[in-house]
Structure 1
């Protein structure tokens, strides 16, 4: 099947790449970069067809994010993160779907999902308060998913802890300007969000536990397998795909730079066996990362398409594959950047921007390897991992 969105991105590749410096300078996506994403359909790839979506295979989504990120890291990052939100919105009450997409199928939804707010129950819904960091692409979004904990009558966390995803319109939250001053992925505009006493009706909420265990899409009556891929595979997919795409972009700029480079010793890079070895090894590592991530999501998709539930042990291995793919790709970037010479660090050389973007993307919580590797190793030993917060990320 032809990936129509990927073809649209490839037709505008030069334009996307040229907007990278502007994105970084603005501290958010340039309006034109956002327009290109909208017109390509990149954010509608996982959106339900009932609201103008494409419902494409998640592998195609990942391949498209990789391509965009190879052209500009920030644009690819926004495509990966904002692009996965329609996937979860498909589980939500039809009433809120109509509110979000009824007038414009290209309405974007921001996040974050981190449960940094308290939702106090009241008649018909919740009164919500909190502050969140890292709302990528938020300047171009009109709605938002925010993670929150269920509160009691006093506004304190209820027992037992219950996590919710709450959906709010732009009028109900504040974007904190100047809250995104970072070393990499500057163009993502991943700013802070504040909510003060917003009323969120019950139909604009999802129970996180139902999203994680797969009951939310079943209860919504969704039949397309893309909506039954485990959350722990679908949610990290766009993020890790962006990191791998950034690595591919770094490699492409490194190759272009080394073609005509003459080192201070007078040796041409093309004649330096050590540089060539590093290029070959890095290219192989980045390609392996790409293949691993795409194979992983394809395997998960095939499992749910066959009507099989993906057990915890397989999900843990999938997370291990996803995390390691990101680390492998960024380590490869380090190897080639370390052989790019001092001129690669000049601000007008794209290599340094891709290098900074890659490391910032790797710092996302979804790429922290310790607990994921720990839990996956226990499953390899046929030991049931203990309960705890990490399980909810697997």
Structure 2
């Protein structure tokens, strides 16, 4: 059977958007992605897009995951976040040990969640790790087959991600938040120490793995992980911004307000026209920046060209800047949408909540990335920046 092309997968994604948009309110109420949405993503073949080809993937790289992810964000930011985060794990697992890959991809439609901050108690021993404690903010954990937990090796000061079966952990249902409620980013709990064998550890942010680049034929494995991963969280925000432009335009074309004895069409209001133009420009700019950077990263990795410190700082800067652009685009439209947009049931209100919540994730916050870029560009960078 022939593998679907990127264009075919994008077509399948766009067919799902109306029903995912219809479920957006339910996704918020549930505080997790509905089971039927996960089933739809699986049935459309979208869960295995980031898998290595040998484990059911289609031979596509992370740029296809991005194209699917931002489109999902137009309909539901939380569903997009769930999708891009879980897909990033399937991409990253392509660099794990062979034994770990075999375990993880035993089902090609595998889903995992993560909590990379090393907040639990961990001890590295010769054979592996003993871990216990709490790891918050694990998006999509309700649907996970595996969880990726951050662990700090105190001796080497190196950060690892440990691959743990979902059956070995419990969930604290504590995700009561203002935005991105549907991501289900709850806390993972391990009360009694669990042993994780050494083959299930992955060093976070390591150097490019050219072995797996060549075996999987993916240029993205030829660049450092930290230059790829922030795009995972920027992608849903771009989708939300694109969706907000469409929602505002549709709403404004139908909106009529009273000004004294007269009824005025808001579509004819210059303020509304200026706002939709500027927000659309920001949303389109954000989309094109990430598209261009991912294309460049994949090309660099495929050719074996090392990224310079300035290249790396620029990619980080851009990924955080598109989050800034996305927030600006949505806030401008929300501010011009009147009292009707204040209702919790308003799609634009949900987009406003979600894009601002997503921008709080440390990986896409502007200040740190701007400082990093400025230091490198001005010649005062230090190795600790990475």
- Same-fold call, TM cutoff 0.5: yes
After superposition, the Cα gap between the structure-2 partners of 1:386 and 1:2, relative to the gap in structure 1 and judged at 3 Å, is: closer
1:293 CA drift (Å): 1.1
Partner of 1:183: 178
TM-score (norm 2): 0.93
Q: 2 CA distance for matches of 1:299 and 1:212?
A: 19
CA–CA distance in structure 2, aligned partners of residues 271 and 49 of structure 1: 52
- 1:386 pairs, out of 372, 382, 385, with 382
User: What's the secondary structure of 2:177's corresponding residue?
Assistant: coil
Tell me if 1:40 matches 2:8: no
Q: Is the partner of 1:212 in helix, strand or coil?
A: coil
Residue in 2 aligned with 1:66?
70
- Alignment partner, residue 154 of structure 1: none
Question: Which residues of 2 match residues 146-295 of structure 1 at below 5 A?
Answer: 146-150=149-153, 158-177=154-173, 179-195=174-190, 196-208=192-204, 211-215=205-209, 222-265=216-259, 266-295=263-292
The residue that corresponds to 1:98 in the other structure is 102
Match for 2:303 among 301, 306, 325?
306
* SS of structure 1 residue aligned to 2:171: strand
Task: Please give the per-residue CA displacement for 1:255-313, whole angstroms capped at 9, x wherever unaligned.
Answer: 11101101232321111111111111111111011111111111111111222111222
- TM superposition shift of 1:43: 2.8
Secondary structure (helix, strand or coil) at the match of 2:382 reads coil
- Over 3 Å counting, the alpha-carbon distance change for 1:216 and 1:144 in structure 2 is farther
The structure 2 residue matched to 1:333, chosen from 326, 330, 333, is 330
Gaps of 5+ in 2: none
CA contact (8 A) 1:91 1:216 kept: no
| CA RMSD, Structure 1 to Structure 2 (Å) | 1.8
Q: Per the alignment, in what secondary structure is the counterpart of residue 42 of structure 1?
A: coil
Question: Quick one: distance in 2 between partners of 1:377 and 1:55?
Answer: 37
8 Å CA contact 2:122–2:132 kept in 1: the answer is yes
Provide the C-alpha distance between the structure 2 equivalents of 1:216 and 1:363, rounded to a whole number of angstroms: 33
Q: Aligned pair in 2 of structure 1 residues 288, 34: CA closer, same or farther (>3 Å)?
A: same
For the 8 Å contact 1:247–1:286, the answer to whether it is kept is yes
CA offset at residue 213 of structure 1? Answer: 1.9
Unpaired runs of 5+ in structure 1? Answer: 151-157
- How many residue pairs align between the two structures? 378
Question: Which residue number corresponds to residue 348 of structure 1?
Answer: 345
In the alignment, does 2:31 pair up with 1:27? yes
Shift of 1:232: 2.1
